Amino acid sequence: MRAITYSQTGDSSVLTLGERRLPEPGPGEVRVRIAVSGVNPTDWKAREGGRPFSFPEVTPNQDGAGTVDAVGAGVSSVSAGQRVWVYLAQHERPTGTAAEYAVVPAERAVPLADDASFALGASLGVPAMTAHRALTVHEDGPSRLAPGALAGRTVLVQGGAGAVGHAAIQLAVWAGASVIATVSSDEKEALARAAGAHHVLQYPSETLAAGIRELAPEGVQHIVEVAIADNAAVDVEVIANHGTIGYYADNGGDTFSAAVRASFAKNVRWQGLLLYTVGETALAAAAEDVSAAVADGALPVGGDSGLPLTWFPLDETAAAHDAVAAGATGKVLIRVSDED
């Protein structure tokens, strides 16, 4: 099979295309014929050395979609021929999705609705599961998402045109929340609206907090936060009593500070989250709810749905990584086969 690999960390030039033996699934594993590989910031950050490199050779990319091709002993959740979306393919293992086949633990290959494209499937993993977690860690909120689960609640998505932000808007709208998103430009405002955000405000702005308070006088219950270092002060100002600020990234800086009294007076929950360490229970819940949202048609991708797709062929995986590292708007995907 054709596979992209790297055997030392570094810039994208460490990625090479080569022929590798077809991997066999072991007990509890499945082999997926990859149609589309999804690229996330974590993939280039890992390749640059941001995570421990503990294998002689790694195929990058956590997310993907394709067709189950072989199942190992004891697997009953999926069968050969089934269309699936794949998450955390390369977590603690060397077999990511930038290859014609990937062997993954069976639970990380999730059935994909028949009418959902592989492009959609490959866009789910990291972004949608992160967004799911951010929306389900509220002290008094639901731990699962479904239509109506967030009814009567207001969600603020900071960075609503990012991949995670886009998924957070779509999932929150599906679950019945009122959604306010922030973006940095008119172009991104159009994307956040296309994703379904009810209100979109632009940053940076001196009046951002006032604008959010005007839309949500009682405060917002949930904040999905990409840039806590930049936004902590605004977040504390607009959060409702007992609200949760779910922060998942260090865009904007490595440390943050916040007003202590204003924060504890509102019983604020500062909730960090990292998909790699969130735990199997949270991952399984996210996979199930995200699949239900896909089946409901609630997570479309593409420019008309607020997530423009940028495609690369497998042999240009390095360029795909560079595009994500440069902050490409929308979703960067790698076409591994011609299957849709």
* From candidates 34, 161, 333, 336, binder to ligand NAP by CB under 6 A: 161
Shortest separation between residue 184's beta carbon and ligand NAP, angstroms:
3
Count of CB atoms situated within 10 Å of the CB of 280: 9
Shortest separation between residue 170's beta carbon and ligand NAP, angstroms:
13
Whether 243 and 221 have beta carbons less than 8 Å apart is answered as: yes
159 part of the interface to ligand NAP, by CB under 6 A: yes
CB-closest chain residue to ligand NAP: 162
From CA 133, how far away is CA 168, in angstroms rounded? 10
Distances (CA, A) of 12 to 44, 314, 324: 8, 14, 11
Shortest separation between residue 74's beta carbon and ligand NAP, angstroms:
29
Nearest by Cα to 202 from 219, 189, 187: 189
Contacts with ligand NAP, 280-309, as mask; x by CB under 6 A = ------------------------------
Shortest separation between residue 145's beta carbon and ligand NAP, angstroms:
17
Nearest by Cα to 64 from 95, 87, 94: 87
251 part of the interface to ligand NAP, by CB under 6 A: yes
188 part of the interface to ligand NAP, by CB under 6 A: yes
Residues from 92 through 131 that contact ligand NAP (CB under 6 A): 126-127, 130
Residues from 266 through 285 that contact ligand NAP (CB under 6 A): 273-275
163 part of the interface to ligand NAP, by CB under 6 A: yes
Start-to-end CA span in the chain (Å): 20
Assign 3-class secondary structure to 2-24: EEEEECCCCCHHHCEEEECCCCC
40 part of the interface to ligand NAP, by CB under 6 A: yes
Whether 157 and 175 have beta carbons less than 8 Å apart is answered as: no
- Which residues lie closer than 8 Å to 178 by C-beta, 6 or more apart? 153, 154, 155, 198, 199, 216
Shortest separation between residue 163's beta carbon and ligand NAP, angstroms:
4
Whether 123 and 162 have beta carbons less than 8 Å apart is answered as: no
* From candidates 230, 235, 289, 322, binder to ligand NAP by CB under 6 A: 230
Shorter beta-carbon distance to ligand NAP: residue 42 or 59 = 42
Residues from 310 through 329 that contact ligand NAP (CB under 6 A): 327
* From candidates 87, 248, 256, 312, binder to ligand NAP by CB under 6 A: 248
From CA 333, how far away is CA 311, in angstroms rounded? 5
164 part of the interface to ligand NAP, by CB under 6 A: yes
Shorter beta-carbon distance to ligand NAP: residue 96 or 165 = 165
231 part of the interface to ligand NAP, by CB under 6 A: yes
Shortest separation between residue 265's beta carbon and ligand NAP, angstroms:
24
* From candidates 111, 162, 219, 246, binder to ligand NAP by CB under 6 A: 162
Query: How buried is 142 (Cβ within 10 angstroms: 0-12 exposed, 13-18 middle, 19+ buried)?
Result: middle
Shorter beta-carbon distance to ligand NAP: residue 41 or 66 = 41
Collapsed DSSP state (helix, strand, coil) of residue 101: strand
Angle, helices 280-295/163-174, rounded to nearest 10 degrees = 70
Interface with ligand NAP (CB under 6 A), residue total 29
152 part of the interface to ligand NAP, by CB under 6 A: no
CA atoms within 13 A on the CB side of 126: 24
From CA 42, how far away is CA 52, in angstroms rounded? 12
Shorter beta-carbon distance to ligand NAP: residue 111 or 165 = 165
Count of CB atoms situated within 10 Å of the CB of 313: 12
Q: Which residues bind ligand NAP (CB under 6 A)?
A: 40-42, 126-127, 130, 158-159, 161-165, 182, 184, 188, 203, 226-227, 230-231, 248-249, 251-252, 273-275, 327
